[in-house]
Amino acid sequence: MPRTRIKICGLTRPQDVRAAVELGADAIGFVFYPPSPRALSIDRAAELAALLPPFVTAVGLFVNPVREEIQAVLERVPLQLLQFHGDESEADCAGHGRPWIKAARMRPGVDLVEFSASHPHASGILVDAFVEGYGGGGKTFDWSLIPEGFGRPLVLSGGLDADNVAEAVRRLRPWAVDVSSGVESGKGIKDAARIAAFIDGVRQADG
């Protein structure tokens, strides 16, 4: 079984990017959603992305963007993957010259198989708890909404932290986990000790 990939999302400070990389994160998420307290300017994102060594993926998170917004970011920030976290259709996500993942906002009644079928070209499906304001809310959801043998690369997120991530990985065996609030001391301020404990939890479950 491959090791579980780890994405840390919503970083805003160089020291947090360095810490996440040194502690073993596989991917770093940059938020381009202006209402978010974790949102970055293009200049700031370019500065942070430049800190990433090879084989650590820079992910750009967007919520219902207009196409020009994405292009403006891509002209300056070397993103390798796009994350669509709003109500985007397959057509909205395609055609930006980058692979993408699509977030499903999970709550009772969401059919993940149907959702997945409506995004056939996404590299993976990220599952997050439904929250007002779209995401990064630190809220878990009912993991039984994820069907067994889902069949697509699954990125598990939503309220993960050092206390629950090992159980989540053992139970669901996702391709990757994604965390923001659970490794923060304040919105957009990451805590190296919490990142370390989170990554340790994932690795313990990987065995």
Ligand X SMILES: O=C(O)c1ccccc1NCC(=O)[C@H](O)[C@H](O)COP(=O)(O)O
Which residues are the active-site residues? 9, 128
If binding is defined by CB under 6 A, does position 159 make contact with ligand X? yes
CB nearer ligand X, residue 1 or residue 88: 88
If binding is defined by CB under 6 A, does position 101 make contact with ligand X? no
If binding is defined by CB under 6 A, does position 136 make contact with ligand X? yes
The binder of ligand X chosen from 24, 99, 138, 153 (CB under 6 A)? 138
Q: Tell me which residues in 5-24 interact with ligand X (CB under 6 A).
A: 9-10
If binding is defined by CB under 6 A, does position 137 make contact with ligand X? yes
If binding is defined by CB under 6 A, does position 141 make contact with ligand X? no
The binder of ligand X chosen from 5, 19, 38, 146 (CB under 6 A)? 38
Nearest CA to 29 out of 70, 57, 63 is that of 57
The binder of ligand X chosen from 181, 195, 199, 202 (CB under 6 A)? 181
Min separation Cβ 30 and ligand X, Å: 10
Cα–Cα distance measured from residue 88 to residue 133, given in angstroms and rounded to the nearest whole number: 15
The binder of ligand X chosen from 30, 32, 33, 198 (CB under 6 A)? 33
Pairing of strands 57-62, 27-31: parallel
If binding is defined by CB under 6 A, does position 169 make contact with ligand X? no
> CB within 8 A of 78, min separation 6: which ones?
49, 50, 58
Token pair belonging to 106: 């999970």
Min separation Cβ 59 and ligand X, Å: 9
If binding is defined by CB under 6 A, does position 180 make contact with ligand X? yes
The binder of ligand X chosen from 4, 12, 36, 116 (CB under 6 A)? 36
End-to-end CA distance of the chain: 10
Contacts to ligand X by CB under 6 A: 9-10, 29, 31, 33, 36, 38, 61, 63, 85, 128, 134-138, 157-160, 178-182
